[in-house]
């Protein structure tokens, strides 16, 4: 069975659309269609239900997809292990990070890692920690920043940093002069929060559910600078890590009482081979995030 055709088939199944799959693969749609037809002819099975507006997998296509994912993942892992024998002269690390951490904590680590391993390319994938964990399980990422307080049977992780979530308020807000606020007080305010799936939001959601509180959400975003701008403009108050507003005279980080702890970890799929480059990158992040606290 041709690996390239399996790769094309897997991408088509992932997107559910010939045009999108062809664009992502960097080939013509006609070439993709021909490759899938040849795969069907080789197997003497119909794999795709084709209609004018949509595409779906047949029962046989679903079975092949399950095996194709395993085969392609095994090939990828073999290539990584073989790459180790070449002294890390080249390679790619697919790394996932929430936007906030990517913007504030990663630049120095990435610069130093690139100097140590100039032949290694790091591809950053931005998403919330919940999405990143699923991407690890799906084999789409090598490493990702995830919540360190949750165990997953398919993910191994090491703790990078511990911190506390704080309320982010304008400098002239009544809360700005307080030593701390309660979660109940916070939830009664107009709120500017990160979207569901991002670690700050997920942690606050968990504590709100435990306390049976309903947050008064006015605005949601996954962009740290936009969130801070909305807080400055008094659209609402939000959450942050204290280090993110330490040098901003217009914003204050006010701790919660009782505290809301945050544990940040870096994870990888437990069945995946972790390359020397990936291990080195983990060490860089451990050092940089510890320094930033």
Q: Domain check: are 152 and 182 in the same one?
A: no
Residue 91 tokens read as 């390679």
**What's the number of CA atoms in the CB half-sphere (13 Å) around residue 179?**
2
**pLDDT tens per residue across span 244-268:** 888 899 999 999 999 998 888 899 9
Higher pLDDT residue, 120 or 132? 132
Q: Domain check: are 243 and 280 in the same one?
A: no
The contacts of residue 62 (CB under 8 Å, 6+ apart) are none
**Which CATH number characterizes residue 208's domain?**
3.40.190.290
**What's the number of CA atoms in the CB half-sphere (13 Å) around residue 55?**
19
pLDDT the model gives residue 185 = 96
Q: Is 191 helix (H, G, I), strand (E, B) or coil?
A: strand
Q: Give the whole-angstrom CA distance, residue 243 versus residue 248.
A: 10
Higher pLDDT residue, 107 or 208? 208
Q: Give the whole-angstrom CA distance, residue 240 versus residue 104.
A: 12
Rounded to the nearest integer, the mean pLDDT of the chain is 86
pLDDT the model gives residue 53 = 63
Q: Domain check: are 255 and 276 in the same one?
A: no
Higher pLDDT residue, 167 or 51? 167
**pLDDT tens per residue across span 202-231:** 888 989 999 999 999 999 998 888 999 999
Q: What is the pTM of this model?
A: 0.63
Please return the burial class of 50, using the count of CB atoms within 10 Å of its CB with bins 0-12, 13-18 and 19+: exposed
pLDDT the model gives residue 176 = 96
pLDDT the model gives residue 85 = 47
pLDDT the model gives residue 248 = 92
Q: Domain check: are 126 and 110 in the same one?
A: yes
80 domain residue, yes or no: no
Q: Which domain holds residue 37?
A: 3-74
Residue at a domain's end among 49, 74, 99 = 74
Pair 237, 186: CB distance under 8 Å: yes
C-alpha to C-alpha distances, 62 to 45, 48, 58, 173, 269, nearest whole angstrom: 12, 9, 6, 56, 23
How many separate domains does the chain show? 3
pLDDT the model gives residue 17 = 85
Q: Domain check: are 226 and 108 in the same one?
A: no
For the CA atoms of 77, 82, 85, 87, the dihedral, rounded to the nearest 10 degrees, stands at -60
Find the angle CA(199)-CA(137)-CA(23) to the nearest 5 degrees.
95
Q: Give the whole-angstrom CA distance, residue 143 versus residue 229.
A: 30
The contacts of residue 147 (CB under 8 Å, 6+ apart) are 129, 133, 199, 202, 203, 263, 264, 265
Q: Domain check: are 179 and 214 in the same one?
A: yes
């Amino acid at each position: 069975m041709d690996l390239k055709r399996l790769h094309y088939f897997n991408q088509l199944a992932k997107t559910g659309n010939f045009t999108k799959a062809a664009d992502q693969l960097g080939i013509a749609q006609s070439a993709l269609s021909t490759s899938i037809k040849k795969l069907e002819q080789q197997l003497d099975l119909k794999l795709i239900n084709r209609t004018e507006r949509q595409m779906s997998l047949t029962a046989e296509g679903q079975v092949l997809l399950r095996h194709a994912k395993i085969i392609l993942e095994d090939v990828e892992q073999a290539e990584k292990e073989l790459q180790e024998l070449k002294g890390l002269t080249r390679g790619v690390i697919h790394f996932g990070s929430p936007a906030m951490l990517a913007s504030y904590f990663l630049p120095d680590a990435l610069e130093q890692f690139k100097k140590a391993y100039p032949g290694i390319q790091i591809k950053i994938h931005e998403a919330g920690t919940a999405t990143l964990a699923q991407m690890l399980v799906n084999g789409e990422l090598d490493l990702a920043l995830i919540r360190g307080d949750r165990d997953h049977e398919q993910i191994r992780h090491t703790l990078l940093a511990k911190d506390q979530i704080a309320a982010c308020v304008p400098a002239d807000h009544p809360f700005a002069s307080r030593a701390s606020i309660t979660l109940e007080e916070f939830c009664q305010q107009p709120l500017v929060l990160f979207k569901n799936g991002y670690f700050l939001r997920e942690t606050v959601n968990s504590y709100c559910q435990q306390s049976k509180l309903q947050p008064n959400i006015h605005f949601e975003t996954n962009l740290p600078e936009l969130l801070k701008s909305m807080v400055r403009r008094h659209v609402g108050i939000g959450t942050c890590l204290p280090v993110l507003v330490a040098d901003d005279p217009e914003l204050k980080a006010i701790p919660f009482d009782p505290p809301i702890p945050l544990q940040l970890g870096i994870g990888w799929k437990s069945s995946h081979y972790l390359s020397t480059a990936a291990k080195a990158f983990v060490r860089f992040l451990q050092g940089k995030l510890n320094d930033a606290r």
